[in-house]
Amino acid sequence: MNWGSWALWGFVATLVLTTVMAGSQGLRMTRMNVPYMLGTMFTSGRDRAKLVGFGVHLINGWLFSLLYVAAFHAWGRAGLGAGVAIGFVHAAFVLTVGMRLMPGLHPRMASEQHGPTVTRQLEPPGFLSLNYGYQTPLSVLIAHLAFGAILGSFYSLP
Amino acid sequence: MPSRPDPAHRRGTDAVQPPIDHYAVIGDGRSTALVSRDGSIDWLCWPRFDSPSIFAALLDEQGGQWRLAPEGTGRVTRRYLERTNVLETRFETGDGVAVLTDFMPVASEEDKNRRLVPEQEIVRIVACERGELEIGLLLDVRADYARQRARPLAAGRLGVRVDTGRGLLVLRTDVPVRIVGDGRVVGSLRLNAGQVAHSSLTFAADGIAVLPPLGDRCLEALDRSVRWWRDWASRIHYDGPCRDIVVRSALALKLMVYAPSGAVVAAPTTSLPERVGGDLNWDYRFCWPRDASLTVRALFGLGCDAEARAFVDWLLHTTRLTQPELRVLYDVFGNRPPGERTLGHLAGYRGSRPVRIGNAAEGQRQLDVYGEVIDAVAYSAQEGAVVDRDTERMLCAFGAYVCRHWTEPDDGIWEPRSAAAHNTHSRVLAWVALDRLLQLHDRGHLREAPVVTLRGHRDWIRREVEARAWNPELGSYVAQLDGDRLDASLLLLPWYGFEDAASDRMRGTFGRIRERLGAGDVLLYRYRGAGSPGEGAFGICSFWGAEYVALGGGTAEEARAVFERLCAYANDVGLLAEELDPETGGALGNFPQAFTHVGLINAALSLDRRLRGESPLQRQIPARPEHAPEAAS
């Protein structure tokens, strides 16, 4: 295990993923804001939540990149193709399973079975996170492919 | 007031659908069902308001329904259990008396977490109070707007199952049923005095269906639902005129709040006609930001703060994909609804065709929306909300958009499908947008705002409206700049603080509106002319008239009289549609209509304050507290 390479490229990949997602928001492709979503698990203040959530997201990115690195080691090779393939599986998992679990995990997120009590909660992502905009799956996919591509291309096996 | 048909009679044999106001509504904060006086659920969309219908007998005889009622004819009366959305229909026939209780079970989230509950459910409990009655059941599932023929399967003690393609419906009932050749489920049961039969229809789209038992479990669900609704209604602090119907309006409005996102849909139905037999049939199962400040004021005014704040959050954050531009309408999650389509296979309500799904107004441009949304945020700040930095940026972007575009023509509040025009209402709402931004800035809620620019445009708009929207020959404001037509939306000028209700100009405008838009009694059309092909009197416009009087256009007693007469147009369970037939007083258009109930509530709030000697409208944004937390708006 090349710890230095993992720490560096895991960090870079997470930054790029976050940037792609934020860019998608700016381009009005999606309303999904992962740092905000994670941060509101700890605080309801919008500005503070984004800050806290960014920290959590960074740590998450590093932890997830460990799985990518573990897969590279298991295969005995890294590379663009391997990284992109894992990124694709990662994105598919996030969209179909991960986000669907969020209403159960997140203390401030409503579910689609919520109601009629109304509280000021985060709206649920729904299937493929489509509630956050029809192009959300596309932006999540692009972000994770970029994440995998960076790790696959730049992580060097010892 | 025109004489109306006796509401106690049952569906005639010659009419496919009963009158619109013969329906009542039940719901669970995500979906609603319309129940007729015959005990037939003729409209149901699951899992949410704008999902394809499961029952649509409202729009076509073959559209699907769930009927549960005593056989034979007789007298029918009904009511909601006090301060709830639990409907009770009482059938009196020559053989006896039966009471049918219909509801969608509701409970607090904590309560729901403690037990396994179906994703969605309708419970129907029929009790024989006197005599001996034959209870008939008919379940005719026609999913996807009746485009899909149901294939029910008998599953023994697990009930009857119908896979709709989008989810699984399960009927469980004490009534012995059988499946007949065309896919209908029919059954009957003889009940003696004191006997009760329970039925439950559940829907599962998200996984394995939950099959709750019948019997005591239904009664427990009823008890929980009644408690939940009464607890919710206990927050309503209104003790003014016509309290019962104001509380009923709040309960009806609550049924149109989509709880998972906070959106408020305009109505739970599509294509109920504004003119029976005509083509003014629209899909209202979406959210119009245009209704924002009126709705928010109604909710805050009654004490429904959670709903008001959730709606403001929805307005600001769910509409982000299109900002700074705001679209005319969104779905409950802020997405663009599918394009408008007609359903040619449906005959329409009493032949009113076409039946439409989706709404082409979505592609229109309404410049009044910005004023509505910003005014809603101002109301929210007035009620103690703190504007966070994201919201500040959003509001400033709206302001910049208004400054760039207010001089342009738009489609206007009523969404006519004709050419854009320079609408006075849109201009005034542009003024409202900039005026409220300046007020928010003055009170410290907007820390950085281009004050000079905003003020310059605001004052420019006022000058233009005062010069070009005032017609000296008519002695009235007019619908369009330099025009001569009247529009009931002009009655809102005092509501938004643009004009004093008691000013000569507003008195002149009100006089002209009554003269040209009066529909008999105290009813008003929204407009008249080539663009109004025979529609009914407009519900909310009539309440705007009452509120205008309450705001200072007349005496308090005059306002009370107008308001009380308007309230009498509600049906036997206190519900109102979009429009009223001036000749019969019957309901027209989608039903029940959030906007009409919002109008009723706002008129009641203003009247109540006037009667108590207070200023009818309270508009004072408090200063932003120092060290305010960066809370969501």
Per-position DSSP letters for B153-179, written without gaps between them: EE-GGG-EEEE-SS-EEEEEESS-EEE
Interchain pair A116, B321: CB under 8 A: no
> Residue ranges of the domains in chain B?
20-233, 243-611
Quickly state the pLDDT bin for B6 (edges 50, 70, 90): very low
Tell me what pLDDT residue B628 has.
57
CA distance B509 to B513: 6
pLDDT of A57-68, one tens digit each?
Answer: 999 999 999 999
Helix, strand, coil fractions of chain B, as percent rounded to 5: 35, 20, 45
Q: Which residues pair with B126 in a beta bridge?
A: B100, B197
Give dist(CA A36, CA B320) in Å, integer: 15
Q: Tell me, what DSSP letter sits at residue A28?
A: T
The verdict on a CB contact (< 8 Å) between B321 and A133 is yes
- Specify the pLDDT at position A14: 96
Residues 6+ apart with CB under 8 A from A23: none
CA atoms of B23 and B34, how far apart (whole Å): 6
**Distance between first and last Cα of chain B:** 44
Nearest to B630 among A46, A117, A132 (CB): A46
Query: A118 and B390 in contact by Cβ < 8 A?
Result: no
Given a cut of 70, whether residue B8 has pLDDT beyond it is no
B253-288 per-position pLDDT tens digit: 999 999 999 999 999 999 999 999 988 899 999 999
Can the peptide bond before residue B47 be classed as cis, meaning omega within 30 degrees of 0? yes
Check: CB of residue B87 under 8 Å from CB of residue B573.
Answer: yes
| Residues A30-51: tens digit of each pLDDT | 989 899 899 989 987 777 888 9
Q: Assess whether pLDDT exceeds 50 at residue B7.
A: no
Residue A124: its chain B contacts at CB < 8 A?
260
Which residues in chain B are closer than 8 Å to A115, comparing Cβ atoms? 28-30, 106, 258-260
Contacts of A33 in chain B (CB under 8 A): none
Closest to B113 in 3D by CA, of A100, A113, A95, A149: A113
Q: What is the pLDDT of residue A104?
A: 87
For chains A and B, CB pairs below 8 A equal 102
With an 8 Å Cβ cutoff, are B261 and A123 in contact? yes
Write out chain B residues lying below 8 Å of A119, CB-based. Answer: 306, 310
CA–CA separation, A85 vs B587, rounded Å?
59
User: In the β-sheet with B587-588, what is the strand arrangement from edge to edge?
Assistant: B537-538, B579-580, B587-588
> What pLDDT is recorded for position B395?
95
- CA separation for the pair B39, B26 (Å, rounded): 12
Q: Which of B574, B42, B40 has the alpha carbon at shortest distance from B269?
A: B42
Residue with tokens 């405008």, as numbered in its chain: B509
Average pLDDT over residues A6-15: 95
CA distance A79 to chain B (A): 36
Report d(CA B592, CA B569) in Å as an integer: 13
Given the DSSP bridges, would you call strands B53-55 and B65-70 parallel, antiparallel or unpaired? unpaired
Of B109, B119, B632, the CB nearest to A46: B632
User: Alpha helix (H) ranges present in B489-535?
Assistant: 504-517
Contact partners, residue A105, CB within 8 Å, separation at least 6: A41
**Distance between CA atoms of residues B451 and B434, nearest Å:** 9
Q: Would you call A46 and B322 a contact, using CB atoms and an 8 Å cutoff?
A: no
Contact A133 B631 (CB under 8 A): no
Residue boundaries of the structural domains of chain A: 3-111+119-154
From A75-84, B412-421, B436-445, B517-526, the region with the lowest mean pLDDT: B412-421
pLDDT of residue B533: 61
Query: What confidence tens digit (pLDDT) does each residue in B50-83 have?
Result: 999 999 999 999 999 999 999 988 999 999 999 9
Task: Record the tokens describing residue A131, joined without a space.
Answer: 């509630």
Measure in Å the smallest separation between the Cα of A33 and chain B Cα atoms: 11
One DSSP character per residue, A53-120 reads HHHHHHHHHHHHHHHHHHHHHHHT---HHHHHHHHHHHHHHIIIIIHHHHHHH-TTB--TT--S---S
| The pLDDT of residue B296 | 97
pLDDT band at A25 (very low <50, low <70, confident <90, very high): confident
Provide the pLDDT for residue B75.
Answer: 95
Residue B13 has pLDDT above 60, yes or no: no
B94, B97, B103, B106 alpha-carbon torsion, rounded to 10°: 180
Q: Which CATH class is domain B243-611?
A: mainly alpha
CB-based contact B197:B184 (threshold 8 Å): no
CB A20 within 8 A of CB A142: yes
Residue A69, pLDDT above cutoff 50:
yes
Answer whether A48 touches B (CB < 8 Å): yes
B114 class by beta-carbon count within 10 Å (0-12 exposed, 13-18 middle, 19+ buried): exposed
For B157-190, b/e burial (b = at least 16 CB within 10 A) is eebbbbebebbbbbbbbbbebebeeebbbebebe
Give the separation between CA B477 and CA B460, rounded to whole angstroms: 17
Return the beta strands (E) in B141-266 as ranges: 153-154, 160-163, 168-173, 177-179, 185-192, 196-204, 257-258, 263-264
- Position B14 scores a pLDDT of 47
Q: Among all residues of chain A, which has the CA nearest to that of B389?
A: A47
Q: What is the pLDDT of residues A95-147, one digit of tens each?
A: 999 998 998 889 888 888 888 888 767 888 988 999 888 899 999 999 999 99
Peptide bond into A103 cis (omega under 30): no
Exposure letters B511-532 (e unless 16+ CB within 10 A, then b)? ebbeebbbbebbbbbbbbeeeb
pLDDT digits (tens, 9 = 90+) for B579-607: 999 999 999 999 999 999 999 999 999 99
What is the share, in percent, of chain A residues with pLDDT greater than 90? 65
CB-based contact B333 A44, cutoff 8 Å: no
Per-residue pLDDT averaged across B563-577, rounded? 98
Mean pLDDT of the B102-122 span: 92
Output the six-digit token pair for B380.
Answer: 């929210």
Residue range B27-39, pLDDT digits in tens: 999 999 999 999 9
Helices of type H across B518-611 = 539-548, 556-567, 594-611
Residue-wise pLDDT for B515-542, tens only, equals: 999 999 999 999 987 655 678 999 999 9
Per the CB < 8 A criterion, the answer to whether B264 and B250 are in contact is: no
Nearest-Cα residue of chain B relative to residue A47: B630
Q: Counting runs of H as helices and runs of E as strands, what totals does chain A give? A: 6, 0
Fold of B20-233: Beta-galactosidase; Chain A, domain 5 (2.70.98)
Mean pLDDT of chain A: 91
Mean pLDDT, chain B, integer: 93
- Cα(B333)–Cα(B331) distance, rounded to whole angstroms? 5
**Complex ipTM tops 0.90:** no
* Contact call for B322 and A133, based on CB within 8 A: no
- B355-375 pLDDT, tens digit per residue, is 999 998 888 899 999 999 999
